[in-house]
Amino acid sequence: MVCICDNTVPEIWLNYGITDVVLDIRAENLEKKIDSEGAILEDTAINEKLSSMDLSKPMDLVVLHNSRAIQNILSSLFSICEQKSHPFPNVLAEKKIMNQVKAGMPEGSSINEFETDELSKSNLVFMGEMEFDGLFGYETISTRLIKKFGQENMLSAYTKRKGNLPVPGQPTDSFDEANKFTNNFEIQAIEIVANSKGIVDFSIDHPSKTHVLTKTLESIGVQDIERQKSMIISTGKDSSNFDLSKSLSSLWNCASVIQNGGLAILVAECKGGLGSDALQQYIEGRFPLQRLQNPTDYIDGMEALLFLTEVQKNIQVGLVSILPEFYTKKLNLVSLSGIKESMDYILKTQGARQKVAIVPDGARTLIR
């Protein structure tokens, strides 16, 4: 996509699904662009760390989501195995992301669907990229695994939440619950911290130990700014805006700095739909909000519905997505067809001189 801009229009690109879209914003309306930081690991450093693994043994490498950082690690792993004549890892992924992951793998390699419903195989190595999370404080491989495999444990994690507002970047009892859950299994993890430019660091260990990288994520992702009236937030990558439930994490990372009565617009394609049983049931009228306070069982994505209803008590939330307007109206979201309409909506409702803060990498940036 080509953008022809004059001096009054800064060129800012925001992720939307597998593409990037340009935001046309006049200089006088741009408050600031807020991004994550951090020095990027060179390929030699990545290869050196990966070589510490015993790659001579068979490995089931489970890719939990797709991203450029994941593709980089995969490519390096295959390259090392080829150089040292080790067997390629058996790559596994959920059916919905198999084609994306496969596209970045070397010719001749294969990928299979990850179908197991238990974690007892000791040669399982899970790979994922760390982000911030409203319930756990941080999204790690442990929190991804408790969501996927620990339904009963998730009820405990949910009931131990810190109040009814999201707490990204904070230590929580819910996070301890996730680490306790994965401690029961003899599995390994490759946990990655990255930003929009590349990999900043990664850890190879048991998933209950790789969370030490939360300090690295904080050091590159936490940004302190004054309170804002209007903000446009992109999640930063396709896997972070695959569905609404996941996309909302980027809103939680920014919501606390938006003034009461302010406006946050989330740019998230949501091609995977709502991504939450609780959101779906609520839209269908089968999930009363009072059930969120002291539930007797955990319904997938309850925290997303709880946090959204609480955040909306203070700010208005707009959404640029492909979700049906029927869904967005039920969730009290302002449905917007594109980036241009978002800017028009801000200037119309907040005033023609309104300054707008832009967050291009919302999943990995925490604004305080």
Final residue of a structural domain among 199, 218, 237 = 218
Final residue of a structural domain among 218, 246, 266 = 218
Extract long-range pairs of 325-333: CB within 8 Å, 24+ residues apart. Answer: 326/283, 327/244, 327/274, 327/283, 330/282, 330/283, 331/279, 331/282, 331/283
Bridge partners, residue 264, by sequence: 231, 317
Indicate whether 119 and 234 sit together in one domain. Answer: no
In a domain, 213, yes or no: yes
Question: Which candidate, 348, 69, 282, 351, places its Cα nearest to that of 192?
Answer: 69
Indicate whether 51 and 122 sit together in one domain. Answer: yes
Domain with 278 in it: 11-33+224-367
Indicate whether 58 and 157 sit together in one domain. Answer: yes
pLDDT of 2: 38
CB 232 within 8 A of CB 14: yes
Task: At 154, list the tokens.
Answer: 């998730």
Distances (CA, A) of 317 to 30, 139, 248: 19, 23, 10
In a domain, 38, yes or no: no
CA distance 196 to 318: 24
In a domain, 6, yes or no: no
71 by Cβ neighbours in 10 Å (0-12 / 13-18 / 19+) ranks as middle
Indicate whether 315 and 212 sit together in one domain. Answer: no
Indicate whether 214 and 246 sit together in one domain. Answer: no
Indicate whether 209 and 255 sit together in one domain. Answer: no
Question: Which candidate, 203, 230, 199, 168, places its Cα nearest to that of 365?
Answer: 168
Helices (DSSP H) in the chain: which residue ranges?
43-50, 68-83, 98-103, 141-149, 151-159, 173-182, 214-221, 244-255, 277-283, 302-311, 325-330, 339-350
Final residue of a structural domain among 165, 200, 218 = 218
Question: Which candidate, 199, 222, 241, places its Cα nearest to that of 20?
Answer: 241
Q: Within a 10 A sphere around the Cβ of 308, how many other Cβ atoms?
A: 23
Indicate whether 207 and 251 sit together in one domain. Answer: no
Pairing of strands 258-267, 316-320: parallel
What is the pLDDT tens value at each position of the chain, 368 positions in all?
A: 434 344 456 789 999 999 999 998 999 999 999 998 999 999 999 999 999 999 999 899 999 999 999 999 999 999 999 999 999 999 999 999 999 999 888 887 889 999 877 787 778 999 999 999 999 999 999 999 999 999 899 999 999 999 999 999 999 999 999 999 999 999 999 999 999 999 999 999 999 999 999 999 999 999 999 999 999 999 999 999 999 999 999 999 999 999 999 999 999 999 999 999 999 999 999 999 999 999 999 999 999 999 999 999 999 999 999 999 999 999 999 999 999 999 999 999 999 999 999 999 999 999 99
pLDDT of 9: 61
Distances (CA, A) of 290 to 102, 282, 297: 43, 11, 14
Q: Return the H-helix or E-strand segment holding 319.
A: strand 316-320
Indicate whether 287 and 312 sit together in one domain. Answer: yes
CA distance 134 to 164: 10
CB 356 within 8 A of CB 30: yes
Task: At 231, list the tokens.
Answer: 């903000």
Indicate whether 53 and 202 sit together in one domain. Answer: yes
261 SS3 class: strand
Task: At 278, list the tokens.
Answer: 């609780």
User: Between the CA atoms of 92, 93, 94 and 99, what dihedral angle is there, to the nearest 10 degrees?
Assistant: -120
Indicate whether 190 and 120 sit together in one domain. Answer: yes
Dihedrals phi, psi of 62, to nearest 5 degrees: -95, 115
CA distance 241 to 16: 8
Indicate whether 178 and 304 sit together in one domain. Answer: no
State how many domains the chain has.
2
